[in-house]
Amino acid sequence: MPTIELGRLKQEAALLSQHFSDPPGYLRELERLLEAYSMPVNRLGEVRGLRPVLKTYEVPTPLLRQLQLEMSQLAEEDPATALQVADGLWARRSIETRQLAARLLGATPAEAHEVTARLAAWAEENQEPWLAPELAQAGTQGLQKQHAEALITWAGQLLAGGHSRQQSLALAALQHLLQGPGYANLPAIYTLLEAPVRSADRKIRPDLADLLSELGRQSPKETEYFLQQALQQPDLDPGCRWIARQVYKVLPAVSQARLRPLL
């Protein structure tokens, strides 16, 4: 791996940007740059059946940061080409190219459906724990800033009928939306969570607990009421009680006292 010289790195990223209008050529040159800075590692994933997971170039963080900066600027100028490049990056099947794909998608001022369709497909395919936060946070940046209500609608669709990985993506994206500035439509999120919390798939229970804990920190009274309603349902699902116990920990003492008999 070459010694990192910031000036040289910026120059190389700028030269690479000249190929952006030709996605296949851009992607070829990008891979050459990653190879030049790489320490290749082949990894076997600890997943069922020992399925292979993605390779990583192990390039220095400043390189990815500079590439992301250049790509974001180019995406503003040419969103259609940026989407093609993002698709190509994801198809390259390495940690770094998929990180860049998610970040480029989130930086592209595209129509909401163009972004959400890719995120849902990528989340269903993804088996890398390291990439899930990239999709939920970096990948939804544009949606959060420009299409928050479309993000809510899309998340509801995934929660109603998506794959568990897609549902985890939806819940993490909603949590990231809550943590950002300016979003106040909390009732819409509570409504989305009513059905999933009452019959929660084991795989997404931690994600539901994380999102409701964030709601509990921001709006403890409303979260207390939400949990009361969920816990008083007939034939209570054990998963619902588990989620409530996790959220209970972040609520104020007065709310905990009222919820304790239901737990």
pLDDT 10s digits, 196-210: 999 888 999 999 999
CA distance 64 to 70: 10
Q: Is the pLDDT of residue 71 over 70?
A: yes
CA distance 73 to 208: 35
What residue segments make up the domains of the chain, in order of their start?
Answer: 1-110, 193-263
Q: What is the mean pLDDT of residues 167-190?
A: 93
Quickly state the pLDDT bin for 40 (edges 50, 70, 90). Answer: low
Q: Alpha carbon of 151 to those of 34, 95, 183: distances in Å? A: 33, 25, 12
Q: What are phi and psi of 162, to 5 degrees?
A: -90, 170
Q: Which of 56-60, 84-88, 93-97 bottoms out in mean pLDDT, i.e. has the lowest?
A: 56-60
pLDDT value for 55: 86
Quickly state the pLDDT bin for 180 (edges 50, 70, 90). Answer: confident
Angle at CA of residue 28, ends 24 and 32, nearest 5°: 165
CA distance 181 to 215: 14
Q: What is the mean pLDDT of residues 222-246?
A: 95
Who wins on pLDDT, 130 or 119? 119
Q: Is the pLDDT of residue 163 over 80?
A: yes
DSSP type of residue 55: B
Q: What is the mean pLDDT of residues 134-163?
A: 95
Share of the chain above pLDDT 70, in %: 94
Q: Is the pLDDT of residue 51 over 70?
A: no
Q: Which of 64-68, 141-145, 178-182, 191-195 bottoms out in mean pLDDT, i.e. has the lowest?
A: 178-182
Q: What is the mean pLDDT of residues 42-67?
A: 70
Evaluate whether 239 touches 205 at the Cβ level (below 8 Å).
yes
CA distance 227 to 240: 9
Q: What is the mean pLDDT of residues 158-178?
A: 94
Averaged pLDDT score across all residues of the chain: 91
pTM recorded for the entire structure: 0.90
Quickly state the pLDDT bin for 260 (edges 50, 70, 90). Answer: very high
pLDDT value for 49: 39
Quickly state the pLDDT bin for 132 (edges 50, 70, 90). Answer: very high
Who wins on pLDDT, 130 or 259? 259
pLDDT value for 188: 95
Evaluate whether 136 touches 103 at the Cβ level (below 8 Å).
no
**Radius of gyration of the chain, Cα coordinates, nearest whole angstrom:** 21
Angle at CA of residue 119, ends 69 and 57, nearest 5°: 50
Q: What is the mean pLDDT of residues 48-68?
A: 78
Q: Alpha carbon of 187 to those of 173, 184, 192, 209, 231: distances in Å? A: 16, 9, 9, 17, 18
pLDDT value for 8: 87
CA distance 260 to 262: 5
Q: Which two structure tokens, joined as six digits, stand for 228? A: 């009361």
